Amino acid sequence: MPVEENIKKQIANLIDRSKSLKVGDSEYGQARSEDQVQECSGWLVSALNVVQLVCPKPENAFRKRAEIIANKEHGWFINNAVGEFSRILSELQRDIENGLLASVADRARAETFDNFLDHAKEYLKENLKNEAGVIAGVVFEDSLRRVCRKNGKDDKDEKLDNLISYLAKNDIISQTKAKRARAAAHVRTKATHAQWDEFDSNDVQITIDFTEEMILNYLDT
């Protein structure tokens, strides 16, 4: 399941669970038992984790308020904190439906891609051109397809050259970058089919460099 759907599912689950946890006793409105206090405490930790994932910047309004609620000592009135926090999740859920989570997924994917490219660089340093080409090619293709989807292009069953043409035609990348993208696509194709003599270490380095630029400019924002 994609990261977006996992987070959406978790938020919906937290909101549903909060319905019973936020209910206090009829006389004072506090938690009804020690078990409820403990469950509320665990719920707040889980809820805060989700908010921090969706809102990675500390200055984000959702995150700032969520952290204040979660980090406060609530005692037996912790159920009220769950109720307040669940309202924040409901509002955050609306923002997610309006596209907020897509940028989060892009950043998460960008971090993963950076890690893979680091491995490709290490392979190049060790003169393992073939292994570096395989990794760099895979990350290039996945990055390119994600950039296309981000810009309204359905990439399913589309060849890399067609996707590159789409990005260039719509001025998302320049013709110069399109030429570099096709060089990277060449490495991807040849590495995939184990045609090791069809590319060299310089070709792999070009693929890594271009992919890093693409991630920085289109995904890591």
> What pLDDT, in 10s, does the model give residues 183-208?
999 999 999 899 999 999 999 999 99
Long-range contacts of 23-26 (CB under 8 A, 24+ apart): 23/79, 24/77, 24/79, 24/80
What is the arithmetic mean of pLDDT over 130-136? 93
Where does the pLDDT of residue 132 fall: very low under 50, low under 70, confident under 90, or very high at 90 and above? very high
Please check whether residue 69 is in contact with residue 81, taking contact to mean a CB–CB distance below 8 angstroms: yes
Domain co-membership, 56 together with 132: no
Q: Residue 40: is its pLDDT beyond 50?
A: yes
Domain co-membership, 90 together with 112: no
| Higher-pLDDT residue of 102, 167 | 167
pLDDT at 89: 95
Q: Which domain holds residue 211?
A: 102-219
Spatial distance between the Cα atoms of 132 and 150, rounded to a whole number of angstroms: 27
- Cα-based angle 86, 92, 93 (whole degrees, multiple of 5): 90
Where does the pLDDT of residue 101 fall: very low under 50, low under 70, confident under 90, or very high at 90 and above? low
- The residue from 56, 75, 98 where one domain ends is 98
Where does the pLDDT of residue 150 fall: very low under 50, low under 70, confident under 90, or very high at 90 and above? confident
DSSP SS3 for 31: coil
Domain co-membership, 122 together with 69: no
The helix (H) or strand (E) run that includes residue 8 is: helix 3-21
**Token reading at 72:** 């406060």
Return mean pLDDT, the chain.
89
Task: Report residue 69 CA to chain centroid gap.
Answer: 25
Q: What amino acid is encoded at 10 in this protein?
A: Q
Domain co-membership, 116 together with 89: no
pLDDT at 5: 73
Angstrom CA distances, 107 to 60, 96, 159, stand at: 16, 15, 25
What is the arithmetic mean of pLDDT over 88-116? 71
Q: What amino acid is encoded at 121 in this protein?
A: K
Spatial distance between the Cα atoms of 204 and 121, rounded to a whole number of angstroms: 9
Domain co-membership, 120 together with 70: no
Domain co-membership, 76 together with 112: no
Spatial distance between the Cα atoms of 15 and 68, rounded to a whole number of angstroms: 19
Q: Where are the alpha helices (DSSP H) in 151-174?
A: 160-169
Domain co-membership, 162 together with 199: yes
Domain co-membership, 215 together with 124: yes
Residue bearing tokens 């665990």: 42
